[in-house]
Chain A
Amino acid sequence: MRHLLVLPFLLLATPVAAQSTTAAELLAKYTAEAGTEASAERGQALFLASHSGGKSDTPSCTTCHGTDPRAMGQARTGKPIAPLAPAVNPERFTDLKFVEKWFGRNCTSVLGRACTAAEKADLVAWLSSL
């Protein structure tokens, strides 16, 4: 019986097909939204800095992702996080919905606010330059 009850929700929750994208497309999109050129240097600085506006357990991107985006990170739970740099992890920046979900969550956790399009452009520029 339980299984029958769950069935409608299973159908509801069928994952939508991944929206295919690339780092270059994302960079172009965020740059256009920002109206300014992206800067890999600014992206690096934002990623490595300690911030005070967000949640106390996650003051920096590096809290979970580590300081080298080509290496594995580790969530506070102990679970490994795959590298962010697309050069070593080709799955990165291939799904717009996924990218937006995690920018949305993690900018709120670390900065206490959404990232601007300019900040997203800077981060994508830096991570895809590595």
Chain B
Amino acid sequence: MTRTPIVAIAAMLFAGAVTADEMEYMPPVTHAATLEECSACHLAYPAGFLPPRSWTAIMATLDDHFGENAGLDAQTRAAIEAYLVANAGRDRSTGSAVVLRISDLPWFRHEHEEEVSRRAFEKAKSWANCSACHEAAEQGNFDDD
């Protein structure tokens, strides 16, 4: 009986449990090439939202970037990957699967799934569109409203 909370706490630690509050501010991208290239089709997501191996995997598969070709010349690609990896967040995952979408992370799902109405989601069109609701997302502010 008394072991249960300990197990629960240990599980949280190993899972790298994260409170949503931690994610309400994330330093925005400052690297010029990353900002330019990664903001062409969506917000230039702050590097801290994904762990290093996620960025490495994303930057290795730009020819099929979530269903589109986002290929870059070799030099720009390498510079962007280096910036993202150097500024990446902690790896909080438990399994071997590499998370490619910030919107697949447990804290993201927890924060958004019940709070975002269907109407708000339809207006945003996709989870990729942070700025639809977070007006200061480009400044790294992902506050609730």
Contact = CB atoms under 8 A, between A and B. Distances in A.
Given A10-B32, A14-B32, A15-B33, A77 B86 contact: no
Interface string A82-111: 000000000000000000000011101100
Interface string B51-76: 00000000000011001111100011
Given A55-B64, A57-B68, A77-B41, A13 B33 contact: yes
B99 interface: no
Interface in B122-145: 124-126, 128-129, 131-132
Contacts of A15: 32-33, 36
Contacts of B131: 79
A75 interface: yes
A17 interface: no
A104 B68 CA distance: 12
A56 B41 contact: no
With a 10 A CB-CB cut-off, give which of A12, A13, A14, A104 has the most chain B CB atoms.
Answer: A13
Interface of A: 2, 5-6, 9-10, 12-15, 55-58, 74-79, 104-106, 108-109
A78 B124 CA distance: 6
Interface of B: 31-34, 36, 41-43, 63-64, 67-71, 75-76, 79-80, 82-83, 86-87, 124-126, 128-129, 131-132
Contacts of B80: 13
A13 B32 contact: yes
Contact of B31 (A9, A79, A105): A9
A77 B69 contact: no
B44 to A, nearest CB: 11
Contacts of B126: 76-78
B41 A75 contact: yes
A78 B131 CA distance: 10
A115 to B, nearest CB: 12
B76 A13 contact: yes
Contact of A78 (B34, B68, B71, B128): B128
Nearest to B123: A78
Contacts of A79: 41-43, 128-129, 131
7 contacts: A9-B31, A13-B83, A14-B32, A15-B36, A55-B68, A57-B68, A79-B128
A105 B129 contact: no
A55 B70 CA distance: 12
A56 B66 CA distance: 11
Contact of A13 (B68, B71, B79): B79
